[in-house]
Structure 1
Amino acid sequence: MNIRVLRYFIEIVREGNISHAAHRLHVSQPALSRQIMELETMLGVTLFERGHRQIKLTEEGYYLYERAQEITALVDKTTHYLQSNEVISGTLGIGAGESQALKPVMDVMAAILQEYPDILVNLVSGDATAIRQQVDQGSLEFGVVMGHEVLLNYNSLKLPTANHWGVLIRQDSPLAKKKAIVPTDLVGQAILTSAQSRNQDVFRSWAGDLINQYKFIGNYNLLYNAELLVQAGGCLALAYDGIANLYDQQLVFRPLTPVVADENILIWAKDHPLPNVAKLFLKMLRTQLKVSK
């Protein structure tokens, strides 16, 4: 599979039109169309539903678009690393979930950006499974995983602040009158949570057998949309303390008791060499946390 053709394919998807993509790529429309048809023939699939003015991706096209972005990003990162081994440059990629515990990580990234203004950052939000996958692939240098994870295949550095679980509730809910939430409070409640937290042993230990009486209505990835559903009265949401928007006074956060806390651990692959900017980041973070190798 030709990297150049993958870049052509990505540009067509972004433009939504072969003519516009050809103009941006400085190639003729017939030549671009021929390249894509040859790609479809090679793969044995149809990538686009072609209309009069715009194109629409097929299911196979969506899949290739996602993979093509990962492949070209990895090629660019690899090329840049090989060509500038002595230079602090390029893109620093870090993936994590939402947490206030990331502050020391962001402080170090801010310091690097001030010192090296040409550096770019790639911040990716996701759960531990998605973050580990991208670290394994090399599309991210670092990930921050939260909770109790088996990390034998990674180098790791524990961050100093833990995440404390609680419940995001409408202010007019009877539960809002409580200072903390005990397991019996959630029986019969419509609960929105992350799939990761629902499956973690630490949360199941807190809830005990009562977890079988909880009404889990679904999962969320990022908390903002979950907040909107809680505001609308559709449910309450399990979340980390400190990340919900409580400024408008419509929602309140109540911690779980006994306390349920997750560690935050920075990870990077053992078998992937780090580019210079990543080495610098790690050195500065260790210094800030006063952690030796």
Structure 2
Amino acid sequence: MEVRVLRYFIEVVQERNISNAAKRLHISQPTLSRQLMDLERELGITLFERGHRQIKLTQEGYYLYERAQEITGLVDKTETDLQSQKIISGTLDIGTGESTAIQPVMTVIGNLLKEYPDIKINLVSGDSDLIYQRLNNGTLDFGIIMGPEKLLNYHSISLPQNNIWGILVRKDQPIAKKKKITPQDLIGLPILTSAQSKQQDIFRSWAGSLIDRFNFIGQYNLIFNARLLVETGACLALTYENLINITGTNLIFRPLTPTITDQNNLIWNKNRQLSNVAQVFLNRLKEVQ
């Protein structure tokens, strides 16, 4: 299974058409079709459902597409890192959830981009599961993990600012009249919470036995889409302060009391050597801690 052929496969999937993909790859359509058929024979699977004008992947095709992106991304990153050891250049790959508390990290990155114009930045937004996965497979240099996590397999630095939990709710909802939200205030109300906080069960110690009377109607990965649902008035969302700009909207944020905060930790894999640019970033971040 050649990396070159995986790149062909990715291009076909993204173009959804073999002819268009062949043009972009500057090869003939018969050559591209033959390469894909050879790949199917090599793997002993069917990648595409035949008979469709546009490309439609089989289940095995979807799996290979996801893995092919990881493989080619890792190859590209490795080549770039190897070619960039004598100068400060290359790509810095960082994965993080949503939080305004990561601003110090972005300030360091911003300064590096100004100082070293050959540096590129790849910011990946996602929850802790995605970040751990990509740190372990080598497609991320660093991850920023929020909340209580077991970090035994990773080096880590605690970032100075914490995240403050509260609710995002429409202004015309009765609970919005309260300045701070107690566990009793949330009993029976429809609540969205983040998938990560639900897994960590961080609200149980705050609410005690009252949490069993909470009406968790669902969970979200990133807050933007959840905000759109909150705007309908169908629910409220447990989230961090200042994640959403609510100026001029019909939404308001109210903090929880007693206060719940989450720490932010920058982590990186103990078993992987940092690239040149990643090491420079880490040194700069330590200087401002």
TM-score (norm 2): 0.97
| Structure-2 residue corresponding to 1:206 | 206
Q: Aligned residue pairs: how many?
A: 289
Aligned positions of 1:183-202 closer than 5 A: 183-202=183-202
Q: Write the deviation string for residues 131-154 of structure 1: whole angstroms up to 9, x where unpaired.
A: 111111110000000001110111
Q: Aligned-residue CA RMSD in angstroms?
A: 1.2
| Structure-2 residue corresponding to 1:226 | 226
The answer as to whether partners of 2:203 and 2:211 remain within 8 angstroms in 1 is no
5+ residue gaps, structure 1:
none
Q: How far apart, CA to CA, are the structure 2 residues paired with 1:224 and 1:272? A: 33
Aligned positions of 1:1-293 closer than 5 A: 1-51=1-51, 53-289=53-289
The answer as to whether partners of 2:166 and 2:239 remain within 8 angstroms in 1 is yes
Q: Write the deviation string for residues 80-110 of structure 1: whole angstroms up to 9, x where unpaired.
A: 2223322211111100100011101100111
Q: Which amino acid aligns with 1:186?
A: L
Q: How far apart, CA to CA, are the structure 1 residues paired with 2:173 and 2:59? A: 43
Q: Which amino acid aligns with 1:79?
A: E
Other structure's SS at 2:56 match = strand
Other structure's SS at 1:202 match = coil
Other structure's SS at 1:206 match = helix
Q: How far apart, CA to CA, are the structure 2 residues paired with 1:144 and 1:69? A: 22
The answer as to whether partners of 1:198 and 1:204 remain within 8 angstroms in 2 is no
Q: CA deviation at 1:120?
A: 1.4
The answer as to whether partners of 2:166 and 2:240 remain within 8 angstroms in 1 is yes
The answer as to whether partners of 1:74 and 1:138 remain within 8 angstroms in 2 is yes
TM-score (norm 1): 0.95
Q: How far apart, CA to CA, are the structure 1 residues paired with 2:90 and 2:218? A: 39
Q: Write the deviation string for residues 212-260 of structure 1: whole angstroms up to 9, x where unpaired.
A: 1111111111111111100011110000011122112310001110011
Q: Which amino acid aligns with 1:249?
A: T
Q: CA deviation at 1:49?
A: 2.3
Q: Which amino acid aligns with 1:80?
A: T
Q: How far apart, CA to CA, are the structure 2 residues paired with 1:213 and 1:60? A: 43
Q: How far apart, CA to CA, are the structure 1 residues paired with 2:62 and 2:215? A: 34
Other structure's SS at 1:219 match = strand
Change in 2 beyond 3 A, CA 1:51/1:112: farther
Q: How far apart, CA to CA, are the structure 2 residues paired with 1:270 and 1:188? A: 45
The answer as to whether partners of 2:80 and 2:91 remain within 8 angstroms in 1 is no
Q: How far apart, CA to CA, are the structure 1 residues paired with 2:228 and 2:99? A: 19
Q: CA deviation at 1:50?
A: 3.7
Q: CA deviation at 1:17?
A: 0.9
Q: Which amino acid aligns with 2:180?
A: A
Q: CA deviation at 1:52?
A: 5.6
Q: How far apart, CA to CA, are the structure 1 residues paired with 2:212 and 2:44? A: 47
Q: Which amino acid aligns with 2:112?
A: I
5+ residue gaps, structure 2:
none
The answer as to whether partners of 1:3 and 1:72 remain within 8 angstroms in 2 is yes
Q: Which amino acid aligns with 1:266?
A: L
Q: CA deviation at 1:13?
A: 1.0
